[in-house]
Amino acid sequence: MVKVRPERTEKATLGGGCFWCIEAVYERIPGVVEAVSGYAGGTAPHPTYEEVSSGKTGHAEVVQVEYDPSVVSYEQILEVFWKSHDPTTPNRQGADVGTQYRSVILFHNEEQKKSAELSRRKLSESKAYSKPIVTEILPLGAFAAAEEYHQGYYDRNSSAGYCSFVIAPKLRKLHLQSSPLTTTR
């Protein structure tokens, strides 16, 4: 089946730990056209996985999500973001530790900034977490796509240990939760 590209798309850039996890989640959301693993928020102009993994470039592992706003809203993209990782752990997700695994929303425009700030405030006020939300909200500078072997990692390696024990449970959790994302607006 050939996928028809929507006339209008928007982008969101999010970091919630290992990009393999976040990419796998967003690839399954109706209205998402593409999810690209990459790096943002650092100083190296053309970062590599090895450089980012060292923690010395300041980059975070992120996913740039291109989506059809007539099917899924930016606010719904954020709702999935909050559910797909722990926004209370600074510079880590599970066993992945380092600034490259920080929780971050990189906004593309002022409207996204306002929506992200409101979303984070509502989550904090909801008391869904006993610890403070540490997610950064920053302007997107440069985004660099990760190396090809990182793209679609879960779909190509779903039986690998990390995929089985870390990513698959996130995907099950997402499918078990009721979500307005299963219907179009």
- The alpha-carbon radius of gyration of the chain (Å, integer) is 16
pLDDT digits (tens, 9 = 90+) for 80-116: 999 999 999 999 888 888 899 999 999 999 999 999 9
Predicted pLDDT at 1: 57
Distance CA 62, CA 40 (A): 7
Q: Hey, which residues does 145 pair with through a beta bridge?
A: 38
Distance CA 105, CA 102 (A): 10
- Sign of CA pseudo-dihedral 54, 57, 60, 62: negative
Q: Hey, which residues does 25 pair with through a beta bridge?
A: none
Pairing type for strands 10-16 and 60-67 reads: antiparallel
Q: Kindly list the structural domains of the chain, giving each domain's residue range(s) and its CATH number in brackets, ordered by start.
A: 10-180 (3.30.1060.10)
18 included as an active-site residue: yes
Predicted pLDDT at 180: 43
Beta-carbon contacts of residue 148 (< 8 Å; ≥ 6 apart): none
Beta-carbon contacts of residue 19 (< 8 Å; ≥ 6 apart): 37, 38, 61, 62, 63, 146, 150
Two tokens at 122? 């509502």
Distance CA 141, CA 120 (A): 21
Higher model confidence: residue 185 or residue 106? 106
Distance CA 48, CA 144 (A): 9
37 with 80: CB under 8 angstroms? no
Predicted pLDDT at 95: 80
> pTM of this prediction?
0.90
Predicted pLDDT at 44: 87
Pairing type for strands 60-67 and 136-139 reads: unpaired
User: Mean of the per-residue pLDDT values for the chain?
Assistant: 89
Q: Which of 18, 80, 104, 171 is catalytic?
A: 18
Least trusted range by pLDDT, from 39-48, 156-165, 174-183: 174-183
Residue 169 pLDDT greater than 90, yes or no = no
Residue 2 pLDDT greater than 70, yes or no = no
